[in-house]
Chains A and B, each alone.
Chain A
Amino acid sequence: MLNFIFDAASVAPGDFTGFTFFIGSVSMLAATVWFLMQHGQVDKKFKDSMLVAALITGIAAVHYFYMREQWVLTGESPTELRYIDWILTVPLMVVEFALLTGVGMRKLFWASVIMLVTGYFGESGVMGGTATMWGTASALAYFYMAYEVGCLTIFGGPTGAVGTALNSASGKIPSAGRMLQWFVLVGWAIYPLGYLMGTDAGQWYEGMSNIALDMNVVYNVGDAINKIGFGMAVWSAARS
């Protein structure tokens, strides 16, 4: 186990990727403290939402401390730690939709299970099959979730029950819901991009990994925006 507080290694000068790990960890920690402070201020019906928002960033903060340590000490991408973080936090993020609307938890949970499990099978190769096959299954689950929470309504398209409930809710929930829909549609799109870059060998999308893009930086910035942004969107609905 690592000791983040007393033995933590320092990010070397010029290590921009290491710096984004550092920023990721402290911003997640700060967001956790903020959401916990706000937990006592919001209406009773939003308390669970604020607690979940704090948990999402809290879990991410712990893993970002781990990831920064691994990066600084070994220079290797902390893929395993990222997956642990996502496995624990993605279901909590979809729960926010169910908490705001009171519907759709079962459907969103199922979709997120399929998205995560198939995505992991494709990247790890433990179950055989091709990365394209597992990636397609994972993407379908993601698109279903995007449809269900109403991402397509941004462009006037159809929506599932969660999106309908979100858009027709009272108070600031519809505007917060719109922010959440944008996060799912745009913010979450970085994860399939990482999948394509990590599994391109021998696939129809071979060559993706040659793109001059440091995925650690993309993931770190994306994670911070998605997770903290998700909580902020919920808070904006709750503070009314």
Chain B
Amino acid sequence: MDIIVRSKLIGLILALSIIFFGLESSYSILLFLIIMLSIGIPHGSVDHIIAFINPEARRFNSKLIFYIVYLSLILINIILWIISPFLGLLIFLLISCYHFGETQVLGYNSTDNKLLNFVIGANILLSLFLNNIIELQEILYILPEFSNLDLSNFESVFFLLISVAVLMLSVTNFNIKRKVPLYAEITIIYMVFYHTDLLTSFALYFGFCHSLPMLMLEFKEFKSDNFIKFYFKTLPFTILSLVFGFLLYHFNNDLLTSDNLILFVFIIISSLTLPHVFIMKDFVKDK
């Protein structure tokens, strides 16, 4: 079993144990912070090294150009959120669909089929949102397109059923090398989504099913013999990301978020995700 599938399995066991041992939803913010700081952000904190690892995929002539492009993408994303939160969210979702799908497909199929990557990621996000839709509606009240929807007639089982049905139809219509393990893994993820609140669902998925396998793959590609040494390499940019988040919150709170902390977290994550997606796309080639 390769390192990706093994770490996915460990991730699923960790996520399931949270359900099984029953974590009170009041701890979800703490859980979210711990997972994001320990796994979520660190898995993207070595982008500056990863971008130069695969010579076939290298696109930057120097580190300076890399940093300019990387930071510009972050800036563009923030401006987009300020101008139009709806557009900001839409672009974040579209890019996340591709990125999450790409990681999910790893170990089960080649990542060459871009449409498959996107569809699998879209399935996962669809399920995350559908299974926590009332909560999501409360968070995204600033979007009139979303806040006016009346979902009171629908039971939560209905949304789980829809997400599983869409997943089944998606999986059957693509040529996937290891179709059943992929489907089975996503089924477990859906169960986690159903039984936990939105923040916990996102933290468990993002941390254990997305970031952890990628972190392990990065560790493998670094050819470092010591995981601790590798992990220390992620720390400088993890700390910088935190500083960036605090500064953004301190100076732009009203403009960006109308005091909606969870939405603000979305903005931070999307800003960090946007450039990271392009780096990872090259990194996972032929994996």
* Cα-based distance from A83 to B164 in the complex (angstroms): 12
B184 with A55: CB separation less than 8 A: yes
> What does DSSP make chain A's interface, helix, strand, loop or mixed?
helix
A160 sits at the interface (CB 8 A): no
B34 sits at the interface (CB 8 A): no
CB neighbours of B20 from chain A (8 A):
4-5, 62, 65
CB neighbours of A3 from chain B (8 A):
21-22
Given contacts A1-B196, A87-B160, contact A51 B191 (CB under 8 A): no
CB neighbours of B25 from chain A (8 A):
1
CB neighbours of A112 from chain B (8 A):
168
B180 with A88: CB separation less than 8 A: no
A126 with B187: CB separation less than 8 A: no
A5 with B21: CB separation less than 8 A: yes
Given contacts A2-B22, A4-B20, contact A51 B181 (CB under 8 A): yes
Among B181, B187, B196, which residue has the most Cβ atoms of chain A within 10 A?
B187
B169 sits at the interface (CB 8 A): yes
The chain A residue sitting closest to B9, CB to CB, is A51
B160 with A124: CB separation less than 8 A: no
* Cα-based distance from A188 to B180 in the complex (angstroms): 22
CB neighbours of B160 from chain A (8 A):
84, 87-88
Given contacts A55-B188, A92-B187, contact A113 B157 (CB under 8 A): no
* Cα-based distance from A117 to B169 in the complex (angstroms): 13
Given contacts A4-B20, A87-B164, A88-B164, contact A105 B157 (CB under 8 A): no
B158 sits at the interface (CB 8 A): yes
A199 → chain B closest CB, angstroms: 15
A105 with B179: CB separation less than 8 A: yes
* Cα-based distance from A88 to B189 in the complex (angstroms): 11
The B-contacting residues of A in range 113-158, CB under 8 angstroms, are: 113, 116-117, 120, 124, 126
User: Which single member of B155, B165, B168, B180 contacts A52 (CB below 8 Å)?
Assistant: B180
B153 sits at the interface (CB 8 A): yes
B23 sits at the interface (CB 8 A): yes
* Cα-based distance from A5 to B169 in the complex (angstroms): 36
Q: Which positions in B face A, CB cutoff 8 Å? A: 16, 19-25, 153-158, 160-161, 164-165, 168-169, 171-173, 178-181, 183-184, 187-188, 190-191, 194-196
Q: Which positions in A face B, CB cutoff 8 Å? A: 1-7, 48, 51-52, 55, 59, 62, 65, 80, 83-84, 87-88, 91-92, 95, 98-99, 105-106, 109-110, 112-113, 116-117, 120, 124, 126
A55-B184, A62-B16 given; name 19 further pairs at CB < 8 Å.
A1-B19, A1-B22, A1-B23, A1-B25, A1-B196, A4-B20, A5-B21, A48-B178, A51-B181, A55-B187, A65-B20, A84-B194, A87-B157, A87-B164, A88-B191, A91-B168, A95-B184, A116-B165, A126-B158
